[in-house]
Structure 1
Amino acid sequence: METPFFNNVFNYPITEFEKHLKQESNNRIFFSGRYGTGKTSFITRYFGHNECRDLYEVYHLFPVNYSISSNEDIIKYIKYDIILGMLERNESFPEESKGYLKTLPAFLLKRMDKVFEAILSMVPEVGKSVLDMYEKLGKLKDEYLSYHDQENIGDGDKLAEYIDVLEGQNGSLVENDVITKIISAKIQSSRPKESILVVDDLDRLDPEHVFRILNVFAAHFDTKASTRDANKFGFDKVIIVGDIENIRNIFHHRYGSQVDFTGYIDKFYSSDIYHFDNRGAMEKVAEKVVNSYTLDGNKDRAMDLYFKDGFLFAIIKSLLEKGNLSLRAILNTYSKELTYHNEDVDLMYYHKVSAWRVPMIYRLKYLSELIGGKNNLVAIFEKFKRGDIIFDDISFYPGNLLYILNYNIEGRQKGLTAVIYKDEEYLLEPERDFYSDSISRVKMYKSLKSGINGDFSKGEEYRATVDEFWQLNIDVVNRLNVLGYIK
């Protein structure tokens, strides 16, 4: 099923972006947002609205296509993409038709030697002898014409010629060949619309190419010190799209933490960096995506089996708030058929257990696949542990996690299981769903010994700390990975 487009995700930041876009003299904008948050979709939708099409002429480039090219070729491909954009718009280019009388003098002037030869060949007898002599003097004639041309070049002409040579070299910092001039003239003819060049998808570039591409753009979009905000091809605005924090990290990794990043990056924006933030809307979209899941084609069963206790909702909300779950990742699961509960796990040696009997198992596997595997999930849980990330009813789940780690422990007494974790002794009391016999909740107690036989008795229900909760999640994910259930 095709993933629907959730307008509220992209309507949310419009007001702030419009305010930033319309700032006076804001000719360069760095549009920053985390990878996968929908930056490209937002820009495409924003400038695609009818009212924006009346105000702006937008050219959208994706430099990921240039990363294997030489620096000189990058400008070629920029021109190619801009021209392609013009052709896709069915742009027309004015053609000036020149009459014969206008072009003939210039033609004759450049070919005087050929004209003279033709005239001599038409003169009988004498003309033929003179023509033979003229042909023998051809080399001397060429040298003379070259000498004549050089003697008639003034200092101003030499300077103009030098500029023409540099501007005609493709990839030169002052490159301004005939194609560039045609493009620039066409872009400037779009007024009163503002012309905008969007340089998108820096997030998709390999780190080694990010600054090579940026440096080419920096050199070509700001070539005159007296006009700091002048843009190549005469664009009114240039928008660079990427994750500023990611680029900052790559910069310091490459050049060292002591090198000034601000001094490098500020040439790409005129006022300040625009931070694209749609997390408030992403939570609503995530809820709609989750509600689209099915189990044997039934949405209610999927919700009941996977999300009823609130654990997954709480984790997803934390992932979105902290920027660890992208919009793209959650949208990719739209209408997903959930089957993790049908898989078997070797929780006891040589004894497979159906995952549906212990729901926390298949819920963790869902999270693992949602954010890209076991290593990513453990890294995020480690981050949440350091940040003391907490959510409602966090004390509800540690017993379920500890139960998985000790599933093979026997020694039950009155429905209780005695376990040791981190050198502490606990009692676990599983509660089972009446209809399915699956573990709905495991209560966790500090164990107490009483009586002459050293029997276990339970004290008050134990409330795990935030640190213990995230560590239990990490330990369970690692165990399920060793057992081959989570990859």
Structure 2
Amino acid sequence: MEFKDLSIDSESNRFDEHLNTEENSRIIFSGIFGIGKTYFLKKYFSSKSDDYVVVKLNPINYSVSSNEDIFELIKFDIGFELFSKNPDFEKIDFDLKSVSENYLLENYDSIINELIEHLPKLDHSIESIFKPILNLYKEIQKHRKELKIDDRKELHDFLKTFAKKEGTYREENSITELLGKLIDSIKLNNEDKKIILLIDDLDRIDPEHIFRIMNVFSAHFDHYNFDGENKFGFDKIVLVCDVDNLRSIFHSKYGMNIDFSGYIDKFYSHEVFHYNFSNVIAENLDKFLNSLDLSKTNLTPRTFSGSYEGTELEFILSHLVKSNCLSMRTLLNYLKSELTVPNYGIKTNSIEFGHVYSHASPIIVILHILENIFGGKQNFNKALEKLIAFKPSIQLGNYYGYYDKRVGNLVMLADVLHSNLSISNEVYLYENLELDIKVTYQIHQGFNYTGVSGKAIIVANFHDNLSDKSYEQKAMILKQKIPYFQLLKLAYNNMNYITKLNE
């Protein structure tokens, strides 16, 4: 399974509505690193090629020194992308009375040389835009001939003083003039399409460069706010980042007392679009579970989809995603690696069942898979701590299916020092005052009768009287809140107390 296999239908519909909101010309597309923002936007705009021309920039790929102006590279990169999207220049108009456009006509050769010189820093080559550069050159030559000699001489003296006004809202140097003309040409040749500038991974570049880019746009927005015009004439500008990470970078640079909201709100017209990755996860977890190739492990072949293991993995993974503890990139990288779920014997105190096997014990398989996804115990424990802070307790009635196995298996491991995983008809009592929980449970045989599995009988609060005959378990379970992920963390760490016979 790879990113290309993921369904994004639900988020596509939501983003489509956001993008097409009236007068929504500035957009912040926010999501944590590794959540699949780049994949989503590429797939979304590929499906909308009849509606949009997208100029996508990746400043993180630039070879830019700390004292170099990244916005100049942004402009050269936009120029490269615009040339690549407008190879023939079927329609292009020049206003021969415009000083700035005559400057472009007079200096096209030097402007293009400047663009070409910067291509290596942008990780681009000249080959892909060589033809459109020549085609525009032919158009330039045609318009040059239309200028009267006297007009050209008069303009020439003025153009000598046509300074590069960098650092102001105009930034109108030669490259800027070229960009405006290229965008006009694309609009003439694609009258039914919107032209979008998309800047990806904005929060992953040097903070100095982040705010240089944003401050240039900000100055432009401030000046042109009366008509909502975007920089360079783009119909829409989409900035892609993790807005929370951007907030942290902002306060680190400017101090906690500086208002981030007042700074950032000019970069979006309506509201920040938060990419809801949990929707994508929900649509694709079945695919993920079915992609687990158990033939690479020593597990007995089985299917996770629709089983207790699958339901529990889906439940835990979806909450890890919602709490920003897990990215789809991490999940997919796990699938690309060698799947290893250890198989070992486990000593029990049962007379009839002296030992069982980890690979036939569902909760142990689940915990090993989760540990592997996070790359080890330390990372998984950190994720669980973050998840507990995000969701200290859950109302189990919302997840009633398999509740007896779900709670029973966690409690069986949380209580391992007491039960020693002994399979019998005995009813065990697990009590935890700190978590305000009391559970009666039994331990049964697991998968293929060679593993171990817990089953909850009654789940109650610590001070509840379980001998009260009026106690109705089903009614209680539907309304009770349980410290589920705290039990999960206890169960996981108590695996250290399991007596392993072999590995």
TM bucket by the smaller chain?
0.5 to 0.7
Residue in 1 that maps onto 2:382: 376
8 Å contact kept, 1:444–1:461 = no
Deviation track 1:249-306 (CA, whole Å, cap 9, x = no partner) reads 5545665665433211111122333343364343121111211212116999242599
Equivalent position of 2:201 in the other structure: 201
User: Alpha-carbon deviation of 1:314?
Assistant: 2.2
What SS does the corresponding residue of 1:314 show, helix, strand or coil?
helix
Maintained 8 Å contact 2:393/2:481: no
User: Contact 1:28–1:238 at 8 Å: present in 2 too?
Assistant: yes
Give the match's secondary structure for 1:264.
helix
AA aligned opposite 1:311: E
Shift of the 400–45 alpha-carbon distance from structure 1 to 2, 3 Å rule, reads: closer
How far did residue 420 of structure 1 move? 6.9
Task: Give yes or no for the alignment of 1:284 onto 2:283.
Answer: yes
Residue range with higher mean Cα deviation, 334-343 or 172-181: 334-343
Q: 1:388 to 1:271 in 2, by over 3 A?
A: same
**Of 39, 54, 61, the match for 1:41:** 39
Conservation of the 8 A alpha-carbon contact between 2:57 and 2:77: yes
Query: 1:27-66 to 2 correspondence within 5 Å?
Result: 27-49=25-47, 52-65=48-61
Task: Give the match for residue 85 of structure 1.
Answer: 81
Q: Partner amino acid for 1:439?
A: V
Q: Superposed, which structure 2 residues align to 1:387-466 within 5 Å?
A: 387-388=393-394, 390=396, 391-392=399-400, 393-407=402-416, 416=426, 422=432, 429-433=442-446, 435-443=448-456, 466=481
Distance between the aligned counterparts of 2:260 and 2:409, measured in 1?
47
Whose radius of gyration is greater, 1 or 2? 1
The offset of 1:47, in angstroms, is 2.4
Q: CA deviation at 1:439?
A: 0.5
Aligned to 1:175: 171
Instruction: Measure how far apart 1:60 and its partner are.
Output: 0.2
8 Å CA contact 1:415–1:429 kept in 2: the answer is yes
2:40 is paired with a residue whose SS is helix
For the pair 1:478 / 2:478, whether they are aligned, the reply is: no
> Aligned-pair distance for 1:363?
0.9
Aligned to 1:45, the other structure's residue is in SS state helix
Give the CA deviation at 1:197.
0.6
- Tell me the distance in 2 between the aligned counterparts of 1:445 and 1:54: 59
Residue of structure 1 equivalent to 2:125: none
Alignment map for 1:338-357 (pairs within 5 Å): 338-342=339-343, 355-356=358-359
Structure-1 residue corresponding to 2:241: 242
2: distance between equivalents of 1:268 and 1:396? Answer: 49
Give the 3 Å change call, closer, same or farther, for CA 83–308 of structure 1 in structure 2: same
Q: Structure 1: state its 5+ residue gaps.
A: 111-152, 447-456
Against the structure 1 CA distance between its residues 217 and 436, is the aligned structure 2 distance closer, same or farther, given a 3 Å change threshold? farther
What's 1:144 paired with?
Answer: none
Structure 2: state its 5+ residue gaps.
88-131, 350-354, 460-466
2:410 counterpart SS class: helix
- The 1-side partners of 2:203 and 2:497 are apart by 33
8 Å Cα contact 2:199/2:238 also seen in 1:
yes
Q: Does 1:185 align with 2:191?
A: no
C-alpha displacement at 1:210, in angstroms?
A: 7.8
Could you tell me whether the CA contact under 8 Å between 1:430 and 1:439 is conserved in 2? yes
Relative distance call for 1:225 and 1:106 in structure 2 (3 A) is closer
Structure-2 separation of matches of 1:293 and 1:375: 23
Q: With the length of structure 1 as denominator, give the TM-score of the two structures.
A: 0.67
Quote the Cα distance in structure 2 between the aligned partners of 1:266 and 1:67: 30
1:359 corresponds to which of 354, 359, 362:
362
State the Cα distance separating 1:161 from its structure 2 match. 7.4
Task: Give CA-to-partner distance per residue, 1:149-173, whole Å, 9 cap, x none.
Answer: xxxx9xxx7xx977x3342x5x665
In structure 2, how many angstroms separate the alpha carbons of the residues matched to 1:226 and 1:268? 11
1:382-417 CA-to-partner distances (Å, cap 9, x unmatched) read: 135425364324453344334334545578796648
Q: What SS is found at the alignment partner of 1:13?
A: helix
Structure 1 residue matching 2:303: 3-state secondary structure? helix
Tell me how far apart the structure 1 counterparts of residues 303 and 337 of structure 2 sit (CA, whole Å): 12
Hey, what's the Cα distance between the residues in 2 that align with 1:365 and 1:433?
16
C-alpha contact 1:416 1:427 (8 A) present in aligned 2:
no
Task: Write out per-residue CA displacement over residues 26-85 of structure 1, whole angstroms, 9 at most, x where no aligned residue.
Answer: 322222344444332232223223xx4344322101232359644752122212322332
Closer, same or farther in 2 for the Cα pair 1:7/1:288, shift >3 Å?
closer
In structure 2, C-alpha distance between the alignment counterparts of 1:35 and 1:228, rounded to whole Å? 34
- 1:394/1:469 contact within 8 Å kept: no
Amino acid across the alignment from 2:371:
S
Equivalence for 1:262:
261
Q: TM-score, normalised by structure 2?
A: 0.66
What is the one-letter code of the residue matched to 2:136? F
How many residues matched? Answer: 413
Contact 1:63 1:213 in 2 (8 A): no
Distance in 2, matches of 1:176 and 1:386, equals: 55
Partner amino acid, structure 2, of 1:430: I
**2:273, 2:39 → 1: CA distance?**
16
Whole-angstrom CA distance in 1 between matches of 2:390 and 2:281: 20
Please state if 1:319 is matched with 2:317. no
Aligned position for 2:484: 469
Partner amino acid, structure 2, of 1:312: L
Distance (Å, rounded) in 1 between the aligned partners of 2:216 and 2:347: 55
The equivalences for 1:16-165 within 5 A come to 16-49=14-47, 52-65=48-61, 69-70=65-66, 72-89=68-85, 90=87, 91=132, 92-95=135-138, 96-97=140-141, 164-165=162-163
- Matched residue, 2:221: 222
CA contact (8 A) 1:72 1:172 kept: no
Distance 1:222 1:68 in 2: 26
